[in-house]
Chains A and B, each alone.
Chain A
Amino acid sequence: MGLVESGKMPKPLTKLLNMSRRYSMWVYQWGLACCAIEMGAAFASPRYDVMRLGVIPLPASPRQADFLVVSGTVTDKMAPAVRRLWEQMPDPKYVISMGSCANCGGPYWDSYSVTKGVDQIIPVDVYVPGCPPSPAACREGIVLLQERIMNEDMAERWKGDPIVVE
């Protein structure tokens, strides 16, 4: 779409595109520890039925995903893999950090092997607090992310420099 690159998107069109992006999100799941159980309940159980929000769980690869949920303890050994698969996701991409460990290290804040927050390796859009967060909290994080996508200026995002975390 040449319109997006030109930076002259009409507002109604932006809104339309944002709405369609908002309600069709493939989620790539990084279950790294006990938070993955809650994430499984949120994404894979009929009780919470995340598909009514337009979230489609279980893509075959990160190359098909729109946003990433990192749930659990990121260790220094796992960090390069998280970074690498995040790089394989197509833009525009979003990240939800779920649980205390992924947010800041959590109970392992003084550990020798745990990364103190996944935001040290990839940019995070929504932090879901809790140890572990309930599936409802995870869902709340998705709703917040959807609001963020809805209010986004696509052309602005397109023009901006690529996000680089060092």
Chain B
Amino acid sequence: MAEIPDHLLKRAQAAREKAQANQEPKVSPNEGVTAQTTSVVDDESLVQEIDEKAENILHQIQSGLNEKLISSHVAPNRGLWIRVSSKDWRETAQFLKDQLDCQFFDWLSVIDWMPSPYGRELDTEQDIEPETVNPEEQPIEWGYTGGQTRFQLICRVYSITLGIGIMVKADLDDQNPRALSLIPIYPGANWHEREAREMFGVTFDEHPDLRNIYLPGDFEGHPLRKDYPLLSRRMKPWPGVVDVEVMPGEEK
């Protein structure tokens, strides 16, 4: 993981200070201020209320899934993240649909958390040869709810009646990533699972038709895995870096 640049840290610090200054109640007693403070209180109660809703739903999930729930995360106003084992993938979806009325299947995909073994970034002129970098040495950092494996299955379902979206994550096996298909519960998962299969090589058991959906049928490899090589970059450097023009008034 790259270190956060100084100017970004400074900007974040300035933003925090500004937010603190705004929250401090003003001393001067005049009419406008009382209205302002009440509006601030209104805002806070609103935030509190939405937080409570997410916490309530998380409590329901906890009591419903028991030990199947590995970890969870509540982001105020932004929804709920939960992580389960890939063995409980389908039961979790069934529970969310039946008990929490998550009728709307938003999307499903896979995250490959491994840092790119080629050091690939936007400004990289050429991919580093894979021999020079050992992908095992680089530590993996996971997002919300943490993780233990390189691949994570992620899916978002939404409950329209409760008004909350729930992200469900599941760790997948590194060597043999597979999970049960969600089609019996959400038929719309069909194409999402086909895409996840061709892009990341995750197998979905009991899927009726696991063909490629975007790639040609004879495509080899899984292009959205971090260790998939972009062969064009091996052949020649990125032309965008080579073509940088000198701005008027600047010296090269």
Contact = CB atoms under 8 A, between A and B. Distances in A.
Interface of A: 76-77, 109-113, 116
A113 B216 CA distance: 9
Contacts, number: 23
A116 B221 CA distance: 19
A112 B216 contact: no
Interface string B218-252: 01010100001010110000110000000000000
B216 A76 contact: yes
A77 B232 contact: no
A110 B240 CA distance: 12
A109 B238 CA distance: 9
B162 interface: no
B228 A112 contact: yes
Contacts of B215: 76-77, 113
**Most chain B CB atoms below 10 A, which of A109, A110, A111, A113:** A110
B238 A110 contact: yes
A77 B211 CA distance: 14
The interface size bin for chain B is 10 to 19
Contacts of A109: 232, 239
**Most chain B CB atoms below 10 A, which of A77, A109, A112, A116:** A112
B125 to A, nearest CB: 11
Contacts of B216: 76-77
A112 B214 contact: no
Contact of B214 (A77, A110, A116): A77
Given A77-B214, A77-B216, A113-B219, 5 more contacts: A76-B219, A109-B239, A110-B230, A110-B233, A116-B232
A88 B10 CA distance: 63
Contacts of B221: 112
Nearest to A110: B232
Contacts of B239: 109
20 contacts: A76-B215, A76-B219, A77-B214, A77-B215, A77-B216, A109-B232, A109-B239, A110-B230, A110-B232, A110-B233, A110-B238, A111-B230, A111-B232, A112-B221, A112-B223, A112-B228, A113-B214, A113-B215, A113-B219, A116-B232
Nearest to B213: A77
